[in-house]
Amino acid sequence: MSCGEENGNYGEALVCPLCLGLFVEPVLVDCERNFCRSCIVSYREAQSGSVCCPQCGVRTPRLLLQPNRVLRNVVDKIRRLTSPQQELSEEERRLCPEHQEKLTLICETDGMIICLVCRDSKLHKQHQFRERAEFLATCKNKGDVLLNSLNQKVVSLKDVVQKQVLEIAQTKDVGCSLICHIAQQFADMHKFLNEHEQQLLEKLEAHVEGNLAEMERNLAKLRALLFSTEQDIVCIEAKLDQGDLASLKEVGSWRDRVSEEMPTALPGNVCLGTYKGPLQYKLWREMKSAIHPVPHSLTLDPQTANPWLLLADDLTSVTVIETKQILPDGPARFDVCVSVLATQGFTTGMHYWEVEVSGKSKWDLGVARESINRKGDVALKPENGYLAISLSNGGQYCALTSPTITPLPLSGTPSRIGIYLDYEGGQVSFYNATDFAHLYTFSEAFTEKMFPYFCPCLNDVGDNGAPLSVVSSQ
């Protein structure tokens, strides 16, 4: 039986991938592939540095060989079932089973290992061939390139995995922190409401008890007077029945008792208006003392206003005008950007304010560092000290992030924008103040005073003449 027939009958599981013959002293390598000991040793000695498996390409510092006794016993039994003439020497197993020539070529068309005679046969006519050694070297190089790429991918994946693990941990921390924050916020409101509920109930109870005590005292007096009057009636009736002059004169002396002022029942004096008026609204107004932050009543700083801006007398609104004003050009004033800062700046705490933007087609709103450059045309972005969002022509809302802006997909058109600053928390958040829908949040560590920033933008096409107005907290 030829080697090719032998391989076909016993299957790939009993054939060495290197010599293509039945295993001789089969050994198991690191990746759990089997080879003839002599084949894999020769292959390993021909390599330099780390060695890759010639079958699967897995690279190891050095292929470790472990005898596969089970496979050897199976192969030996197969050999014993064949005649001695069918046993092939190691040298014969490296020869073409058909022509007994060395297998030195690879037919790239068929993917077969062939000899020189096979190459010239009709079976392989016009096929593409390569030297076996060259082909193996090319395969090895391709394997090395692939392995290098996979190793780089592993490094990158490990980095991404580490980042994801970190993000998961940070998200858990943020979630726990926000749970505590929300619980504390509601606990403060519950405490306020519970205290005011208790105070109001105690006041009502004292009021009712005092009123009842006064009416009970009056009731006792009325009952005593009633009893006394009924006794008088009995006495008078008796005197009248006697009919003598002395008795009748005595009855006439009691006439003053009839003319005495008639006592009255005291009304209940529980004031419904005190306890049953707009109670929730009253408590809501009182709750402002317990709520933090509440909207600030900001004013605009005229020393920072661009000359093309007109501030209202109460410094709560700003409008772009058509004629430039003659104003002193101090270091605090914006000379190109049509912008203005609030008078109030913040170095600690949590703050919230609202700005009316209805009727405008363009605006920029946010916060700015005290040290911002106010001269020239300055780009509004975080590295320049601005944390802002904007509305541009065409109704495009965006956060002025860097290096590119971030579009904000709003479901409606806000008429009022809410801005929240948490100085210690390094947070600036923007909201549609009508329904408190969140628009965008900047996160940045603050190291200097932060000022509310307002830019009504130019009215260059005539549809942006409405003012920006700070909403009063009253």
Give the pLDDT confidence of 182-228 residue by residue, as tens digits.
898 889 889 989 998 999 999 999 989 999 999 999 999 999 989 98
- pLDDT of the residue at 245: 63
Q: Across residues 40-61, what is the average pLDDT?
A: 72
Give the pLDDT confidence of 352-411 residue by residue, as tens digits.
999 999 999 999 999 999 999 999 998 999 999 999 999 997 789 999 999 999 999 888
Residue by residue, what is the 3-state secondary structure of the chain? CCHHHHHHHHCHHHECCCCCCECCCEEECCCCCEEEHHHHHHHHHHCCCCEECCCCCCEECCCCCEECHHHHHHHHHHHHHCCHHHCCCHHHHCECCCCCCECCEEECCCCEEECHHHHCCHHHCCCCEEEHHHHHHHHHHHHHHHHHHHHHHHHHHHHHHHHHHHHHHHHHHHHHHHHHHHHHHHHHHHHHHHHHHHHHHHHHHHHHHHHHHHHHHHHHHHHHHHHHHHHHHHHHHHHHHHCCHHHHHHHHHCHHHHCCCCCCCCCCCCCHHHHCCCHHHHHHHHHCCCCCCCECCCCECCCCCCCCEEECCCCCEEEECCCCCCCCCCCCCCCCCCCEEECCCECCCEEEEEEECCCCCCEEEEEEECCCCCCCCCCCCHHHCEEEEEEECCCEEEECCCCCCEECCCCCCCCEEEEEEECCCCEEEEEECCCCEEEEEEECCCCCCEEEEEECCCCCCCCCCCCEEECCCC
Does residue 87 carry a pLDDT above 60? no
The class that CATH gives domain 309-470 is: mainly beta
Does residue 464 carry a pLDDT above 80? yes
- pLDDT of the residue at 287: 80
Does residue 314 carry a pLDDT above 60? yes
Does residue 85 carry a pLDDT above 50? no
- pLDDT of the residue at 345: 96
Does residue 86 carry a pLDDT above 70? no
**Between 3.40.50.1010, 3.30.40.10, 3.40.50.2300, 3.40.190.290, what CATH number should domain 3-135 receive?**
3.30.40.10
- Out of 134-143, 161-170, 223-232, 343-352, pick the least confident: 134-143
Mean pLDDT of the chain: 85
- pLDDT of the residue at 251: 60
